[in-house]
Amino acid sequence: MTGDEARDVEATAHHEAGHAIAAWAHGQRIMRVSVASGDESKGHVMHSVPVLPKNWNWIRERWRFEVRIRIALAGRIAQEKFDPKFCDQLGGDAAYALEHLTLIVAPGDHARAYLRLLEIEARAIVDARWDLIRALAAELVGRRTLGGREFRAFIRAAGADPKIYFGPLGSKLGPAV
């Protein structure tokens, strides 16, 4: 593997670790984190999606979309923090975030401001958990894939506590470890 290829794998590992830690910080159960993907992407994270009771209102439904957007943004933010030159500003995650944003807010200045707020929140998660993201990325570079049990064992071994996350109406959610 050339130096550029190795750096690309590291950048992808940071990207996927950013997604995984952001999802975990939102109380999502991680089922798989990988930098070895057979499709067009260089890696992926499989996690549970926020499920709310049917009687919850629109504010809480909106929160589900916010969680998905923060998780999507966290990958790019982590990759950019690792190495800005390896960051794809217009990747699939950005399209995913914009698609979900249009389900909760009309296009225009308000949407741009709302997306910026969610990006600030995602950046706060990445910044607060940067050491954990770097450690997970190093694990991914070596192993390429972690299943759910392996991810949970990694989190336990790291002694990590997801105290940084955003819930509906500011409520706290427990970790899914």
Q: In the chain, what are the domain boundaries?
A: 3-162
Residue 96 to residue 75: CA distance in whole angstroms: 12
The tens digit of pLDDT for each residue in 76-121 reads: 999 999 988 766 554 677 777 777 777 777 777 778 888 888 889 9
**Does the pLDDT value for residue 30 go beyond 60?**
yes
- Predicted local distance difference test score (pLDDT) of residue 171: 42
**Does the pLDDT value for residue 64 go beyond 90?**
no
pTM given for the model: 0.82
Residues 143, 76, 60, CA angle at the centre, nearest 5°?
105
Q: Annotate 104-147 with DSSP letters as a single string.
A: TS-SSHHHHHHHHHHHHHHHHHHHHTHHHHHHHHHHHHHHSEEE
**Does the pLDDT value for residue 32 go beyond 90?**
yes
Lowest-confidence range among 8-17, 56-65, 80-89?
A: 56-65
- Predicted local distance difference test score (pLDDT) of residue 157: 93
Q: How many residues can be counted in the chain?
A: 177
Q: What is the mean pLDDT of residues 2-20?
A: 87
Q: pLDDT confidence of 48, banded at 50, 70, 90?
A: confident
The residues with which 32 forms a beta bridge, in sequence order, are: 46, 147
Q: Which residue has the higher pLDDT, 55 or 96?
A: 96
- Predicted local distance difference test score (pLDDT) of residue 26: 85
Residue 149's H or E segment, with its range, is helix 148-158
The residues with which 33 forms a beta bridge, in sequence order, are: 45, 146
- Predicted local distance difference test score (pLDDT) of residue 173: 43
The CATH number of the domain covering residues in 3-162: 1.20.58.760
Q: Are 77 and 18 in contact (CB under 8 A)?
A: yes
Handedness of CA 108, 113, 116, 122 (dihedral sign): negative
Residue 66 to residue 6: CA distance in whole angstroms: 33
